[in-house]
Chains A and B, each alone.
Chain A
Amino acid sequence: MEDNEFSTPTERRLAEIWAEVLRLDKVKRDQDFFEIGGDSLLATTVVLKACRVWDVKFTVRVLLAAPVLAELAERIDELVARSGRRPERETT
């Protein structure tokens, strides 16, 4: 995965989680979770991993409403921001 394909570190880390759960080599920022093999059970796994990685609490509904990787990454950043911590900044 080339770093410049992602806009934020959250996107890059989330893509790694998706690739692991969906057993894919590569996931792009504009891909829809349910169009690349995701189902509601795998969605639960992704959400639980994301809750752990970013130390926030959200449910599968968030992924169902934002199934594209970049959208979900943005939601996660919002949740992190709301929880009082600052999202990671891109470091280049």
Chain B
Amino acid sequence: MTEEPKASVPGPGAPTLWGGDAETRCLLDRLAETARTRPDGVAVRDGEHELTYGLLFTWAARIRELLAGHGVRPGDRVAVTGPRGAAVVAAMLATVGAGATYVPLDAAYPVRRLEHMAADSAARLLLFSGDAPAFDIGTRAVRIPGAPDRADARAAAAPTRQPCGPDVPVYVIYTSGSTGLPKGVALPHRCVDNMAAWQWRHSVRPDLRTAQFAPLNFDVWFQEVLGTLCGGGTLVVMPESLRRDPIALLDWLADHRVERLFLPYVALHMLAVAAEAVESLGRLALVEVNTAGEQLVCTRAVRELFRRLPDCRLNNHYGQSESAMVTVHTLTGPSDSWPALPPIGGPLPGCELLVDPADPADPSVGELLVAGAPLAVGYLNQPALNAERYLTLDEPTPRGHRRAFRTGDLVHVEGDTVRLLSRIDHEVKIRGVRVNPLEVDACLLEQPGVVEAVTVAVDIAQGSRQLRAAVTSDAGPDGFDGARVLKALTGLLPEQFVPVSITVVPELPRTPSGKADRDAVAAALAPPARTPGG
């Protein structure tokens, strides 16, 4: 193995971009102000509750007392699970208000993954709503108490008693790794305070009625929840059944007069396709759609949707679990003038962008490095990975930063805007979820009969990308049970990670150096070229 050269970016002539000064006010402070100034405004609505700011923050204060009663202290981690809804929002506010770190556990994940997340994060306590958790995290599980009947103005106005600090971690979320298990990353107040403040200031109004769409374990969940609550808006929790049903989602958005929506690009495309079949979009109240997750493509359907919603703007957001919300590019005006492949735009306040050039002759093209406010504290329990991805720079950057995150994204900087080109590693996005195919390979290799495994993404149609796997087997030509192996994977990996098919091959194609040739596997597993007009 070759040693990674000590980073000395930016190289001579390499561009750097700066987003201006960060917001440094603690988000709990801002939340206290919102609770004080609009106690009767509706903060969150789900299938069960409609809670004013006064009630939501009273609820959070009660849960905070419960945490203290269970010995939770500042700096501890508290795991929270349950359906997306007001109870989880209150539990997050309580945890952060207690100076502890919130660790969301999405109950839809397989048990092994959840148990790993709980153990790896060393959660002190598990709070849950809904059904008692089906997994054992080796710590006490406590049901989140019910919502209060009446607001307590004093409790509500003081969401914390802890002195806040920029380095205090707010949350830990887990993202795909290469080993078969996900890796946790901790985000501090410096990052989250700045992100939430930017979100409500950047939106067309601070107090937008916003759909809560993102699953619990996504950085966008915090953007939706904290961006909305810090701005005095209303969170409307989308029923889970609508995630796979863009046709029904359109009706729901209209019925609830949702003004702001965050969704992965693929979901946006499908919503736009569903909208084509609807005669009138007059009932939609959308004024802002925010998309992220992968390269935004302004498809015909997407342009048509925004042509019919002339008062709605489209923001292309870019960030990742390890450095939340990095850049934004806003599309307004007639959608037929929008580029097919919009850039990711320029940096947020507090964010400095650097490029590690692929070729010194053209320093505007290279791997994107992020410095400043967006950076996570780092991965949990992964010193080697931290050293590899969070660089310590030899020289301070033009803005004086000495630490930068290697995004793995190849970009082109044009003036003050950034364009995504491709990934440097094998990572792919499946329905907006980041998947490292090596993690799927690792789980396949645990299965009896599998000797080698290569998982690749193939594109079936615009916005529809699937994982497919090729394996070699020692189980004999008829002895390999692909269906059983796929079923086993569903017990190990989230649904987006599970391939739609496993193809047994006599041997894997190889690169000249003898490694499995992933591109050749992808070409072999891709569907035949579509016939014109199909």
Contact = CB atoms under 8 A, between A and B. Distances in A.
Nearest to B527: A23
Contacts of B527: 23, 37
B431 A48 contact: no
B512 interface: no
A44 B466 CA distance: 15
Interface string B461-503: 1011010000000000000000000000000000000001100
B430 to A, nearest CB: 9
A21 B270 CA distance: 14
Contact of B277 (A52, A60, A61): A52
B464 A39 contact: yes
A45 B500 contact: no
For chain B, the bracket of interface size reads: 20 to 34
Contact of B500 (A20, A37, A51): A37
Given A37-B460, A61-B241, A48 B273 contact: yes
B266 interface: yes
Interface string B450-468: 0000000000110110100
Contact of B244 (A43, A51, A58): A43
B214 to A, nearest CB: 16
B431 A40 contact: yes
B247 A48 contact: yes
Nearest to A60: B245
Q: Is the interface of A mostly helix, strand, loop or mixed?
A: helix
A61 B245 contact: yes
B442 interface: no
B122 interface: no
Contact of B530 (A23, A43, A58, A59): A23
Given A39-B466, A52-B277, A61-B241, A44 B500 contact: no
Contacts of B500: 37, 39
A41 B266 contact: yes
A40 B244 contact: yes
Contacts of B270: 41, 44
Contacts of B248: 59-61
Interface of A: 20-23, 37, 39-45, 47-48, 51-52, 58-61, 64
Interface of B: 241, 243-248, 266, 269-270, 273-274, 276-277, 431, 460-461, 463-464, 466, 500-501, 527-528, 530, 534
Given A39-B431, A51-B277, A61-B241, 5 more contacts: A23-B460, A41-B269, A44-B246, A48-B247, A60-B246
5 contacts: A40-B431, A44-B270, A48-B274, A60-B247, A61-B248
